[in-house]
Amino acid sequence: MSRWSLSRTAQCFALLFAAAFAGLALNAHGHEVAAGIQPAASAPAQPPRPASTLFRNVRVFDGLSGQLSAPRDVLVKGNRIERIATGLPADADALVIDGAGRVLMPGLIDMHWHSMFAGPSLAVAMQAERSYLAVVAGVEATRALMRGFTTVRDMGGAAFGLKSAVDDGLIPGPRIYPSGAMISVTSGHGDFREFTDLPRALGAPGSRHDLVGDTAIADSPDEVRIRVREQLMRGASQIKLTAGGGVSSPHSPLDAITFTEPELQAAVVAAKNWGTYVAVHAYMPDAIRQAVNAGVLCIEHGSLMDEETARLMASKGTWLSTQPFPDAMADAFPRGSDQWNKAQEVFAGTDKTYRLAKKYKLKTAFGTDVLFSSALAGQQGAILASLARWYSPSEVLVMATGTNAELLALSGKRSPYAGQVGVVREGALADLLLVNGDPTVDISLVARPEQSFAVIMKDGIIYKNRPQ
């Protein structure tokens, strides 16, 4: 039996912070780490990766077809799926897991996650020390992995350090495709300044959140290019702009169109020059249409779109990354506040958005956009399961695995991971879940990860092994 404990995660963070005063060094991946601190035998940050793992007698859900295979064996070597066949022999040193006819499926993918903001309350996120927020983010990353989410696309926040810690094996967590700072205009979604912070000189940082890299204010095409290139320099796999008003930010009405089309085009060209793409936050039709016409490849949310907008997205092949917002998400804001009221308006559009997505066959990705609530983050799988209102269980699973992986692939060479995720096929990265029950029939299984997921593997490493 192998399972990572949250207490060990806390120990790792304590070691890192205690050693931070000793200076910085570069590890083998070129990341800065506290001098002398590496994943060590005395405090291993993750279980060892078996040389090979053989899953016997499993029915494969490949993330693409929506169907289960007949019983198969799946051989993992290192961090990749080596063979899928019947009667595969086990190496002498192989870890053999008897699937007993269970379903083996790809790890889940959340395409709209905020690693730095999922756990803390709004007040804490706005005011707490960064070191505290880093620890909270690490704990939430481990919890997300243990819910079966082996990959997340981070859509705004200074998550580069957390990503490095996960990739270097210092803490367990999902793969992170980072956007870096959420790029906004003055008064737009992402501008959290007080009036006393005004005015800002062109080119100057906007706020504390700009300085730490969570947000970036840009008020001209030239500034947009600079902010985009800064995120790419830091390692962004895609770029996130806020093209319209938002719920959580204090100064942006929902109907506001924030960036101009030349500003959006500047971002699109700068990202395209690096072989990647721009995704924009937008709820309202006018903001969505302007972004699509500017060459943006993915709309985040789209919760208040209309038929004309859906037709335009379909004609351009624009992705829709939308979320089945639970009503409880509004509880992050004081009841009756401007943010709470905006949330009610946005959430009311969810049903229409999914119906338009299906009617016009939009390329649709799944994400949660959980903010400011560890309790709600714990419902990540339940939010996915709620898609059963519009889709069959198999369609839900394909969306959260193979389809989401198609959108991740738009990052091209800016992808932080070499290999295919979201599928069970030979040569793909070994991010796998062994499920107690059949999620193609009962999608609610993903809402109960503690009971439903007998094995959780990411990158060929087993973080949970309870197949009995």
Q: pTM of this prediction?
A: 0.89
Q: Are residues 215 and 234 in the same domain?
A: yes
Tokens, residue 80: 């990749």
Q: Does residue 178 belong to any structural domain of this protein? A: yes
Report whether pLDDT(40) > 50.
Answer: no
* Same domain assignment for residues 301 and 441: no
Evaluate whether residue 415 is within a structural domain.
no
Amino acid occupying residue 352: K
Confidence of residue 45 (pLDDT cuts 50, 70, 90): low
* DSSP state at residue 214: S
Is residue 413 a part of any domain in this protein?
no
Which ranges of 51-129 would DSSP assign to H, the alpha helix?
A: 122-127
Domain shared by 348 and 435, yes or no:
no
77 shares its domain with 115: no
- 145-185 per-position pLDDT tens digit: 999 999 999 999 999 999 999 999 999 999 999 999 999 99
CATH code (residue 60): 2.30.40.10
Residue 223 maps to a domain: yes
More confident residue, 45 or 388: 388
Number of domains in the chain: 2
pLDDT of residue 468: 65
Residues 187 and 316 in one domain: yes
Shared-domain flag, residues 57 and 163: no
Model pLDDT, residue 289: 98
Percent share of the chain, pLDDT over 90? 74
pLDDT on residue 12: 46
Answer yes or no: do 354 and 431 share one domain.
no
**441 belongs to a structural domain:** yes
Can you spell out the DSSP letters for 14-53?
HHHHHHGGG-EEE-TTS-EEETT---BTTB-SSPPPPSEE
Range of the domain at 95: 52-107+421-465
What pLDDT, in 10s, does the model give residues 288-313? 999 999 999 999 999 999 999 999 99
Q: What is the CA radius of gyration of the chain?
A: 22
Q: Are residues 64 and 112 in the same domain?
A: no
